[in-house]
Homo-oligomer: A and B are copies of this chain.
Amino acid sequence: MSQLRSTLDFLVYDWLQGEGLTARTRYADHSRETFDAVLDTCERIAREKYAPFNRTVDTEEPRFDGEKVILPQCTYDARRAYAEAGMLAAGKDAEWGGMQLPYLVEAAANSFFACASVSMGSNLLTSANANLLLVHGTPLQKQVFAVNELEGNWAGTMALSEPQAGSSLSDISTRALPDGDGFESDPLGARYRLKGNKMWISAGDHELTENIVHLVLAKIPGPDGKLIPGVKGISLFIVPKKLVDAQGQLTGERNDVALAGLNHKLGWRGTTNTLLNFGEGKYPVRGDGGGGLDGQGAGAIGYLVGQPHEGLKCMFHMMNEARIGIGMAATMLGLAGYYASLDYARNRPQGRPVGEAGKDATRPQVRIIEHTDVKRMLLAQKAYGEGALALNLYCARLVDDGRTGTPEVAARAKLLLEVLTPICKSWPSEFCLEANSLAIQIHGGYGYTRDFPVEQYWRDNRLNMIHEGTHGIQAADLLGRKVRMQDGAGLQLLAATINATIERALQVPQLAGYANQLAQALQDVGAATKAAWATANPQEALANAVPYMQAFGHTVLAWMWLDVALVVLARDAALSAPAHAGQMGAARYFFHYELPRIGAWLQVVRQRDMTCAELPEDAF
């Protein structure tokens, strides 16, 4: 983890000028020392409570004994240490017991846990859940639900998907009916009864906390009793696993939320993943201490958050945070594999160098890091992992600027973040998965045994291209919405920001060639964007949205590396010569080996290639 720490220090302080955030009112009580103290604490907890148990949570996957979900003890210990460190409330207002830490520092601190054992904690979900409530909840909802989450007493989930709907949220069929006449006057919020099934709910049931706060999307039927089709009919509800009173005390009664099954996954096994039944009658709610029950209203009790029919808007607030979190998780798995394979390559003797020197079999074998192809696989991982980390931290810094910058800075940051979020989520999930495959490859046969950690990283990482919006959904969001919104203002802003880096790099002899290469790439992406939409036909424009996103992502990552390289060269190289050489090597690798790949991706976008779209179904 010491290598991760020095990479974080460079990116957070040297590159993103994180210490400068302390000049802002919100962060005025902080200093480099308090930031470092948080990083130190998280690094220590991750090393002591997470890393040693990463294989344990894989082999002892969650199981259901019919009544309770069984998790290994280490998960309890890790969660307690995390909560006690105050990390659940790290970024929250002091008013709610938070540290008011910049999101940049919070994200950097959380990266240690993802690197040590990505699936062990579902803390980010709890934190994001509370965050949503702090923005959209009533004062009492904040006090009862959010604060109990932030203090570590309760955990949180987000319950969107349903078995028949998957990513298609307009097709959810969980319904919410007003709970009797006085339903609107419940102090915890307008009270409804929910019935429906929710699939893929992470941390949907467990005994880690005394209660679980589900944030559930459901539809309130119209006057005709029918559900409103489409996403407009969706509302958001707090559905606690156990019922609570207005003081936040458990009433002792269980809400009608039942675990219908655990999903048994390929990876990411430390986190329970569930199918939940709401209001199926397994735990009938007989009284709720509130308005009159009419017997017809059976179902799980839920409290409306925000306005009816505006649930998706509230939820998106949480989903965007979750998407950045997934990008970071994918990144840290990539780096975990890099560190593991680097360690292996430095210690494993095998084979001899290519050429004359290697022909003498009486000479001892060399360590495999001396083989160029192993170096190539290491450098690719470094370029992917550290590049993705730079992007994720850059986006985290944008979150801070959006919250605390001057109005102009904030508006710019929010717009840029809108455009970058699909990349921030998708790029690490694709290329840090590739990095994990390279980590396996470096280990040879040992890499696919369970005696080494890399096969688990690879399995864990495979989820990230799927959950919180698949690759296809991110790509459609990017090309269908983000680069077009406000007449392309987001794309223009991104281009201007990248161009600023290019302008600076053109002044540096070592980087001028890369600056020109990036300028060309940016122009190619812009031209492909225009060409895709030239016929204004979404079916043609979006037919190659994923290749578009891949090319877009590689261009963004090349920008990251060029920008990082500028700062690396500006430092006193003598101070950290090896790290300096490594970062410049990774930047070089990215421009030599990776950026040229965009040509093939953009070609089909530019030509609005309909090869796939037009193939009839029976031809497959």
Interface residues of chain A, those whose CB is within 8 Å of chain B, are 161, 164-168, 170-171, 199-200, 229-231, 263-267, 342, 346, 349-355, 360-362, 365, 369-376, 378-379, 382, 433, 437, 440-441, 444-445, 447-451, 455, 458-459, 462-463, 465-467, 470-472, 475-476, 480, 537-539, 542-547, 578-579, 581-582, 585, 588-589, 592-594, 596-597, 599-600, 603-604, 607, 609, 611-613, 615-620
Contacts and interface: CB of A to CB of B under 8 A. Distances in A.
B604 A265 contact: no
Contact of A581 (B230, B352, B578, B615): B615
A20 to B, nearest CB: 29
A519 B544 CA distance: 26
Contact of A582 (B581, B599, B619): B619
B472 A448 contact: no
Nearest to A345: B620
A592 B542 CA distance: 16
A599 B596 CA distance: 8
A619 B585 contact: yes
A74 to B, nearest CB: 21
A578 B616 contact: yes
The number of times this chain is found in the oligomer is 2
A602 to B, nearest CB: 10
Given A266-B449, A372-B612, A592-B611, 12 more contacts: A264-B451, A266-B450, A346-B617, A353-B539, A354-B476, A375-B612, A375-B620, A379-B611, A379-B615, A379-B620, A444-B466, A448-B462
Contact of A445 (B166, B538, B607): B166
A230 to B, nearest CB: 3
Contacts of A378: 620
A556 to B, nearest CB: 17
B161 A619 contact: no
B445 A619 contact: no
Nearest to A375: B612
A308 B538 CA distance: 70
A352 B467 CA distance: 20
Nearest to A602: B596
Given A448-B266, A612-B375, A615-B375, A441 B470 contact: yes
A231 B604 CA distance: 49
Given A372-B539, A444-B466, A449 B354 contact: no
A369 B168 contact: no
A589 B609 CA distance: 10
Contact of A609 (B349, B547, B592): B592
B355 A539 contact: yes
A449 B611 CA distance: 31
A56 to B, nearest CB: 15
Nearest to A363: B229
Contacts of A365: 165, 168, 171
A603 B611 contact: no
Contacts of A354: 476, 480, 538-539, 542
A63 to B, nearest CB: 13
6 contacts: A372-B542, A373-B546, A376-B612, A382-B620, A579-B619, A592-B609
